[in-house]
Chain A
Amino acid sequence: MPQLESAPVIPGMQTGKKALLVFFETDCPTCQLMLPYLNVLAKDSVQVIAISQDGEAPTREFARAMQINYRIELDHGLKLSHAYNPQTVPALFLLDENGRVAQSLVGFDKTALNNLAAALDHAPIALPDDGAPAWKPGCSSRHLEPQSADSSSTNGSPLLRKTAEPAVRITLTDNVDPVEYCREQFGDALPVVPPTVEKVEVMVRASGLAAETVVGRIPPVYGEATVEKIAANAVMAGCVPEMMRVLVPLVRAVCDERFNAHGVQATTHFAAPLIMINGPVREQLGFWSRQNVFSNVARANSTLGRALQLLLLNVGGGRPDGIDMSALGNTGKFSSCIAENEEENPWEPLHVERGLRREQSALSLFAAEPPRGVSEHTGQNGATVLRAICATLATVWSYRVCMMPEAVVVLCPEHVKTLHRDHFTKQQVRQFLFENTGVPVRYYDGQDGGEGTQLVAQYREITIQGERCFQKFSSPESIHIFVAGGTAGKFSAVLGSWSTGPRGSQMVTYPIPEVVQGG
């Protein structure tokens, strides 16, 4: 903890009273997300002083755009930053009446923010379903950045805007077919519904948000996804207006740094975003979770997946004939959206495992390979079903690559019935798959230099049914379980991942609001 006796005086701070210092950078997306949450604390509970690591002009603009109601001071020469030495921003320091640091936290973390509010006898300030992620890492503190030869870069960085200009209007003359025009200019290979001003306005109204609100910046070109742009792509995909309540959190999810859409959209790998839907929204908007769940069976699934792909293409710039470099592609890039068959699932559904209430609608995003089928019709017990799945799981990414991949296992209701009858809990299913999926060590004997053979020093050796194997997955949590499909047919599926973890793409789960924001 920093020693305040040696720290510079905080301008404007009332002595003898608790204070909350918050260090920030104007161009840090996490600071832009977090600082407005402190308005309510400043109003009710504590003197809040924000310390800007940037110059006066961008700081004034930040305060105006973020509608900050508390005092902001400039950190001249970054002296305060050096004294308090936060590693990342935003960084909060709660000072007691004697000016000593009682508590500190960095980044954006709803639980920690609510704990801080509780320490100040205040109600929670960061609600779980307000559309923001539960957690978001911050940026490196300015005082730790290498000195830039270009001294203007610190104060010249553009503030990420909360609103953008209205989209350009395009008027077509009578001799232009609007469907053909849109397919050529804004579609992929399939026709789209022309996004007329009238249709887009209906869609925007259904969102309950202002048309110019920037919901996210979609990689790899980081185009601004305003509500209006989202609505236009939703019209093109054939969505109903009510789908805007799903599309807004979906755009936030795809722009979440943990998902890393930049990499997913540009890789030579197969990966395509798989949308997984849970909760009451399935019934409310008609998301399908039964037979043919991966297919063209329901308007909600097909149009939501397609709207995401059109947004990635048109706003994100991930053109399949350009920056999207996938060697073979993936049919999921037309549309890839499945819902969980929670009615046939005796265990916790995916969104509950990931921290949400059962009655909270939610979407999860996973960078997925195409589905691989697993047929097991004659096995009479749960272990036999799981061993069939293990054999397919062992091949994801490439047969001798271990530890790095993750996978989604989509269990069909008949397989689930067998497992449940044999008293498998969901955690036991996951543990069984983890402990029984491996690659025989003898496959690595030839020293042929094939993919995965160079990394054996990092692999774990285990015995599976008497055979020495390298364990396929790094942990049980690398295997995500989802129940879907029709009640007839003992076919499950395995979907491998792209590069995983903080260095690749991580699954993200976002709540879907029950009513549209502002609606």
Chain B
Amino acid sequence: MSITLVHPGNERVAQAATPPARLASLAGKKVALLDISKPGGSLFLDRLGEILRTRYGAAEIIRARKPTFAKIAPPQIIEQLRGVDAVIEALAD
């Protein structure tokens, strides 16, 4: 005898966003560094920003910082990232 179950899980299918094309070079590009507010993250990003400028010719580095690593970024932080060529998000510790 067959048995019928009620689906107990999330049935919504997430729509995956298409990632942008990979940059061929960072030269002349605007790069955002997103600090998630973990200890040590800003030190890492300072150095990374310097390397991106001096070694890879990035034209502009902008920094954004989440108020807390424990929650998703609020919309105003995401807005700060709009218009850049690349974003690097730093996890840290």
Contact = CB atoms under 8 A, between A and B. Distances in A.
Given A223-B12, A503-B71, A172 B76 contact: no
Nearest to A314: B9
What's the interface size class on B, roughly?
A: 20 to 34
Contact of A169 (B4, B10, B71): B4
A310 B72 CA distance: 23
A228 B4 CA distance: 15
Contacts of B7: 167-170, 232
Given A174-B1, A263-B71, A499-B70, A197 B9 contact: no
Contacts of A84: none
Nearest to B82: A149
Interface string B38-72: 01000000000000000000000000000111111
A314 B6 contact: no
Interface in A209-244: 221, 223-224, 228-229, 231-233, 236
A316 B6 CA distance: 17
Contact of B9 (A174, A315, A499, A504): A315
Contact of A229 (B8, B72, B75): B8
A310 B8 contact: yes
B71 A167 contact: no
Contact of B79 (A146, A172, A197, A267): A146
Given A173-B2, A194-B3, A503-B67, A236 B12 contact: no
Nearest to B76: A146
Contacts of B2: 171-174
A170 B5 contact: yes
Contacts of B14: 221
A195 B3 contact: no
A351 interface: no
B6 A195 contact: yes
Contacts of B83: 149
Contacts of A447: none
B8 A186 contact: yes
Contacts of A194: 3, 5
Nearest to A502: B68
A6 interface: no
A171 B1 CA distance: 10
A505 interface: yes
Nearest to A168: B7
A351 B4 CA distance: 41
A197 B2 CA distance: 12
A15 to B, nearest CB: 38
A178 B3 contact: yes
B5 A172 contact: yes
Nearest to A203: B6
B8 A167 contact: yes
A168 B6 CA distance: 6
Contacts of A503: 67-68, 70-71
A454 interface: yes
Contacts of A168: 7, 11
B6 A200 contact: yes
Contact of A317 (B1, B3, B10, B76): B10
Given A260-B70, A504-B70, A171 B3 contact: yes
Contact of A236 (B3, B8, B82): B8
Contact of A505 (B5, B12, B70): B70
B10 A224 contact: yes
A233 B9 CA distance: 8
A314 B8 contact: yes
Nearest to B91: A268
A262 interface: yes
Interface string A150-173: 000000000000000001111111
A499 B69 CA distance: 10
Nearest to B74: A140
Best-buried of B6, B12, B39, B79 by chain A (most CB within 10 Å): B6
Given A173-B2, A194-B3, 16 more contacts: A167-B6, A167-B11, A168-B11, A169-B7, A178-B5, A182-B5, A197-B5, A197-B6, A200-B6, A224-B12, A231-B6, A232-B5, A232-B6, A263-B71, A315-B9, A504-B68
Interface of A: 140, 145-146, 148-149, 167-174, 178, 182, 185-186, 194-197, 200, 221, 223-224, 228-229, 231-233, 236, 260, 262-263, 267, 310, 314-317, 454, 498-499, 503-505
The 5 closest A-B pairs by CB, nearest first: A223-B10, A232-B8, A503-B68, A314-B9, A263-B70
27 contacts: A146-B76, A167-B6, A168-B11, A169-B4, A169-B6, A169-B7, A170-B4, A170-B7, A171-B4, A172-B4, A174-B1, A178-B5, A185-B9, A196-B3, A221-B12, A223-B12, A229-B8, A232-B7, A260-B70, A260-B71, A262-B72, A263-B71, A314-B8, A315-B8, A315-B10, A499-B69, A504-B68
